[in-house]
Amino acid sequence: MKSILVTGGCGFIGSHTCLSLLEKGYYLFVVDSCVNSSDQVLRKLKNLSIINFKLKYLKGDLRDISFLRRVFEEAKKCNKPISSVIHFAGLKSISESIRYPLEYWDNNVIGSINLFKIMEEFSCRTIVFSSSACIYGLTNQTFINEECEVKPTNPYGQTKVTIEKILKDLFVNSLSEWKILCLRYFNPVGAHHSGEIGEDPIGVPNNLFPYISQVAIKRRKELDVFGSDWKTIDGTGVRDYIHIMDLAEAHLAALEYLFDKKKNFLVLNIGTGIGTSVLELVKIFEKTNNCKIPYKLKMRRTGDVGSVIADNKKALAILNWSPKRNLEDICKDGWNWQKNNPYGFQK
């Protein structure tokens, strides 16, 4: 079975994707600096995939190129040369990126360039890259397809566009045949149904779903609903929420799609194509989990847009994949994780 390098494999999306890959029998090398995660998650992965737990964790930072070289060398030495990479590692907070732009350019872009250099050095040229729907910026279009203009409004989004561009350059100009898939995620939420792994934001959550979960567990008093005057079904913001395991499975499908290809470069939106408002999500969470989420209607959040929904037709047509879980599954699984782990991986 092929060996895959998963950068950022201890993080939210990385850990769930590792589980899908382990279940399929792949051998994994996980690289993470744990700047925004805990390696405790690996213990959970081991419990969840007892038979198939073929995973080697190497703690380190992508900006350390000699560390990266050692990872590829070690894989080769133990006769498991890395055939392909899923590249999650990166900083992801929009507000933080506005405050600390250099940190974001350094971490996300320099880290990625190092990774691509070492991949080239070891003739490993198959990669799935974590991009983001935020690169579309402020758009009036309700359903966003891959042809929509890319115009990010913050340094985080700029780093994602830049990495996509570097990958495109490699594809177009390299003498070697690169196989590249950039996945632009919409709003990944929820948790693995076991309740063993899930999203574990540090500090006050910026995003809606973990905030709702922390109100439900009474870590936060109430939810602030940012804006009730959007042109949406009930005035609150509409987003495309995708179950984290559907997203994990999209990575598996993306990787296996690339295995069968020759030279390739593709960008795909990964979402459900279904929009849900803040208050709709609150209601579904309350009903599914038989709890109350107190909330207050507040002013719009700076930089927000009313409605962002994926046009996911291209991904559905190209990948052997479609989202299988609905909002009830998202709320049930997300709550299962939160109530079993009120303080995430810490306690």
Q: Which residues make up the interface to ligand UD1 (CB under 6 A)?
A: 94, 132-134, 187, 206-208, 211, 223-227, 237, 239, 278, 301, 303-304, 308
* Residue 51: CB minimum distance to ligand NAD, A: 25
Of 117 and 292, which has the nearer Cβ to ligand UD1? 292
- Residue 181's identity, in one-letter code, is L
94 or 217, CB closer to ligand UD1? 94
Out of ligand NAD, ligand UD1, none, what residue 90 binds, judged by CB under 5 to 8 A for its kind, is ligand NAD
At residue 18, the 3 state secondary structure works out as helix
- Nearest residue (CB) to ligand UD1, 129 versus 257: 129
Residue 32 binding partner per list ligand UD1, ligand NAD, none, with a CB distance cut-off of 5 to 8 Å that depends on partner kind: ligand NAD
Q: Least distance from C-beta 58 to ligand UD1, angstroms?
A: 26
Which is catalytic among the residues 156, 185, 211, 257?
Answer: 156
d(CA 148, CA 12): 27
Binding at 61: pick from ligand NAD, ligand UD1, none (beta carbon under 5-8 Å per type): ligand NAD
Which C-beta is closer to ligand NAD: that of 27 or that of 209?
209
Q: C-alpha distances in angstroms, 125 versus 44, 119, 121, 257? A: 30, 6, 10, 14
What is the Cα–Cα distance from 141 to 139, expressed in whole angstroms?
5
Nearer to ligand UD1, 18 or 270 (CB): 270
- Choose from ligand UD1, ligand NAD, none: what does 239 bind? Cβ within 5-8 Å by kind: ligand UD1
- Report the nearest approach of ligand UD1 to the CB of residue 29 (Å): 26
Q: How far is the CB of 187 from ligand NAD (least distance, A)?
A: 6
- State how far the Cα of 34 lies from the Cα of 286, in Å rounded to an integer: 33
Sign of CA dihedral 233, 237, 238, 244: negative
Q: Which residue is nearest to ligand NAD (CB)?
A: 11
- Taking a C-beta distance cutoff of 8 angstroms, is the pair 28, 56 a contact? yes
Alpha-carbon gap, residue 309 to 141, rounded angstroms: 9
Residue 13 touches which member of ligand NAD, ligand UD1, none, C-beta under 5-8 Å by kind: ligand NAD
Q: H helices of 78-154, where? A: 94-99, 101-104, 111-121
185 is catalytic: no
- In our burial notation (b when 16+ CB lie closer than 10 A, e otherwise), range 40-53 reads ebbebbeebbeebe
CA separation for the pair 30, 6 (Å, rounded):
5
Structure letter (DSSP) for residue 175: S
CA-based end-to-end distance of the chain: 35
Given ligand NAD, ligand UD1, none, residue 304, with its beta carbon under 5 to 8 Å by kind, binds ligand UD1
| Site residues for ligand NAD per CB under 6 A | 8, 10-14, 31-37, 61-63, 88-92, 107, 111, 130, 132, 185, 188
For ligand UD1, the closer CB: 119 or 133: 133
| Residues 155 and 105 sit within 8 Å (Cβ to Cβ) | yes
Shortest Å, Cβ 3 to ligand NAD: 18
Question: Quick one: which of 258, 298, 266 has its CA closest to 279?
Answer: 298
- Strand-strand pairing, 82-87 and 126-132: parallel
Contact partner at residue 210 from ligand UD1, ligand NAD, none, CB < 5 to 8 Å by partner kind: none
Q: Which tokens hold the place of 260?
A: 């069968």
Phi then psi for residue 240, to 5 deg, are: -105, 100
Find the shortest distance in angstroms from Cβ 35 to ligand UD1: 17
CB of 87 to ligand UD1, least distance (A): 17
Taking the least distance from each CB to ligand UD1, the nearer of 244 and 278 is 278
Provide the annotated active-site residues: 156
